[in-house]
Structure 1
């Protein structure tokens, strides 16, 4: 008989929610009976509660009840509820209870930084993307995870099976260590790309574009048939479209601008992207679209919120191609369904178009992972914490649990790896079983943003996405080449501070003038003057820092 989720005891969940209602509250280390056990699986590590013989593909279970604190980001649309069974299910399997320190999504990065800097952060810091750990590593506020991954067999297994070793090595900082472990992805495709009205492209006789030049040709045909339209839009202040377009032009831009440098293979050194010929070529392309009325420039100055959004323009037949992710497809579809276009349109998420640099997309990426605060090294259950997190983040058992719930209750999994949600349950955030009485996300806590969206096999990634998105994954993997990652150039603590002081005004200048060049507020004939402005902000000194770090790391790591 199936267990009723709502009948589960609420005591532990309610107790968790009393932890810290705001980011200013403090969470102490959990108190447990300590000392090393009779079997010492990890030398001088505090190993109370740790499993002896813990290995990949086994369920971690602490040998005594333990409690760990974790920073929990609260999304407004998915607040933690007393009825969430996910924490009780984790505890039943692992003997580990989690104490939540809550921070709001709106400023979670700032609150996280304050807590860590003050030494008041909980044990586990999730939702960490690569690069975000550097400031905390420099101040030794977080642990070097590379010292402990030998005790993380699932992590090691999938780094090897999914050929991610070099990418992991690229996380190493100036001391040769890395301070966060990321979410691992068996396959990696750009999250944001171009969404197009395929029915409109067919109407004007334009094939789905494979390159940016082909896209321009299609937009010209659409403009001729729909003269009041500006058929291409972004909706993310340009950050999204420039990000995925830049790779095809041989540069970085928008959301992917990073520290502003790009590794020039021929020169064997880093150059500044915003001052490169490739960046200028990209701006010239988008300026041409804007000049000819093919680009909705308002979508490069505003987010997709409020009035006059790209969604509204998509529904009104004013925009026919725009930036977006899998969720944006549904957003656009909902808007179109409220119009006369219902039942007549087809939105396709296409592989990012190619360009002068080839059919190139972003490098393979990690997803968010976690850091451990420096204080956890003295936790009496430190080794148990490392083993538990290895199970939680990297074991297939835990990944299925976090996404779909309890196998045999909320979902089934066939021999060939196909996941099926039981009809009585829904997952509304992904439009699955909308008639189900209990939402496994909203009501039970599965598929939450903090823990679920991290490590994924290809099968797991495809299991909750639409068939259209699966087709998108196939199209990217079969027709596009990921750009090689840049070689490491880790800065030491002093260099990080120097680089930050230089990088910020340089990026501000790039951002301001990128928009001006595209919309025509500054003519591209002033490009050399713009580059001179960057040089006057000590651009060369900044590049010297980056290239010096690159050369030093290459010499030390041969």
Structure 2
């Protein structure tokens, strides 16, 4: 790992914001009363070097004295960091903050990050942290309890309140009642992955677009009859994607969203999802699709990476598949594959909201995006308060978020009076098929729209780089689907974490294996009770006891 120095300063766009004091109470309330409410003092004389006295929400951060901040940077193989990236030089003079980047490779970023933190060698700023990533580092004191200091972060407080995210913030607290990471905030949250469909085929053959999983089954049967050589539905993500978004409509959790595996039961206690009737119903539904030749068995075990057997994209292009798991990018990929075979404009590929099911029109709970942790050593810095202000601007100020995504207004992009953003001639963002091949890619060549741009987004900013089809998808989800309530938090203490980790992994492995066996028809559903008994023998009662104990403690402490 090497360390490279880059200057990092914000955009010149500045608006008059509300005071930090005006939002402090909101932030404190958002983190609850369990010890995570700004109860740590900052020595302004010793730790206020570089800080602004009048820093406020939506205002420009400008350090009163220059300082440096070390940052962990994950290197994507296809987006190598360049010394000449404009993202760094553009903002140098405005904040006086210099980032010193410690590079780790994407291929083993989580492992390298853990090693650095455990060894006490982590940089000050540790980004790309999703909720839960911080848990292993809490007991050692290696990372800072961010909820102790949110009164100094007015942008964070403002948008938590404005976007109604207070209850969600409460759910990221650890067993001691404090939050050790701050997440990227999303004004609107929609499932990234859902069903990608050939709309033209569904409308011509099946008579329309399915709204429920049962309607999808009927439509797939019609497609199978019209295209006998096809297997009309595929996953392409080792069964983890489709089960994830389908589970919410069946009232359970599965696939990528399995998490702890715990869901609400009939009473106050939580239950392990795979032991419930809802999980069995989910598995039985997909088992039926496989048995009827409607769901591609191969796509349930192989990643959609184009290697080995024909990828899902290739099957789409050959009229062998008409629906699959994917994102807005997947829809573009499928459409491009069809352009090469069926001719441009002879098809319509769309991302649709996850179908409704027995539990209703539920989709995943509103989500955060990745945020950051701070190394605990930052609290000893003379620039501590300025660091908090800088990160509050970087992660939560709208002007900063726009700059990180689009670059420099009137140089790389323009913005109309109605807020419409467009890249200027000679600039492209190939990842989103914007001005593709126009010359300078603002991501590859300038460093904008890299991972720091992803964390916090207003709806307008999210839609600014999205295709019209994905903008429609956002609207469709928000108007026709209901986010389910967040899963009840049950933060574990250090001893419980060690015990649960020894139990959770073999239990999850057993669940994944049996779930796929049932769906593929390799294990009869008559063995379901035997499967549950296997989980019991693998330590499920102790695991459930641990989680419910932590849940009861959390409720008592945060009542």
TM-score under structure 2 length normalisation: 0.91
Equivalent residue for 1:68? 69
**Any conservation in 2 of the 1:155–1:394 contact (CA below 8 Å)?**
yes
**Deviation for aligned residue 1:543:** 0.7
Residue 366 of structure 1, aligned match among 362, 368, 371: 368
Residue 357 of structure 1, aligned match among 356, 359, 365: 359
3-state SS, counterpart of residue 69 of structure 1: strand
List aligned pairs for 1:112-511, cutoff 5 A.
112-264=113-265, 266-305=266-305, 306-307=307-308, 308-449=310-451, 451-511=452-512
Change in Cα spacing, 1:158 to 1:42, as seen in structure 2 (3 Å) is farther
- Following the alignment from structure 1 to structure 2, what is the Cα–Cα distance between the partners of residues 340 and 474? 29
**Range with bigger deviation, 91-100 or 109-118:** 91-100
- Following the alignment from structure 1 to structure 2, what is the Cα–Cα distance between the partners of residues 505 and 437? 51
- Once the two structures are superposed, what CA deviation does each residue of 1:192-211 show, in whole Å capped at 9, x if it has no partner? 00000011112213311110
- Once the two structures are superposed, what CA deviation does each residue of 1:229-268 show, in whole Å capped at 9, x if it has no partner? 111001100111000000000000000000111122x322
- Following the alignment from structure 2 to structure 1, what is the Cα–Cα distance between the partners of residues 45 and 130? 30
**Deviation for aligned residue 1:117:** 0.6
Pairwise CA RMSD: 1.5
- Following the alignment from structure 2 to structure 1, what is the Cα–Cα distance between the partners of residues 553 and 499? 17
Aligned residues: 522
- Following the alignment from structure 1 to structure 2, what is the Cα–Cα distance between the partners of residues 242 and 453? 25
Equivalent residue for 2:17? none
3-state SS, counterpart of residue 138 of structure 1: coil
3-state SS, counterpart of residue 551 of structure 2: helix
- Once the two structures are superposed, what CA deviation does each residue of 1:388-428 show, in whole Å capped at 9, x if it has no partner? 00000000110010000111211122232211211221111
TM-score under structure 1 length normalisation: 0.92
**Any conservation in 2 of the 1:139–1:493 contact (CA below 8 Å)?**
no
Change in Cα spacing, 1:213 to 1:44, as seen in structure 2 (3 Å) is farther
**Deviation for aligned residue 1:62:** 0.9
**Any conservation in 1 of the 2:5–2:98 contact (CA below 8 Å)?**
no
Which consecutive unaligned segments of at least 5 residues does structure 1 have?
1-12, 18-39
Which consecutive unaligned segments of at least 5 residues does structure 2 have?
8-40
**Any conservation in 2 of the 1:45–1:382 contact (CA below 8 Å)?**
no
- Following the alignment from structure 2 to structure 1, what is the Cα–Cα distance between the partners of residues 369 and 237? 21
**Range with bigger deviation, 410-419 or 297-306:** 410-419
**Range with bigger deviation, 160-169 or 373-382:** 373-382
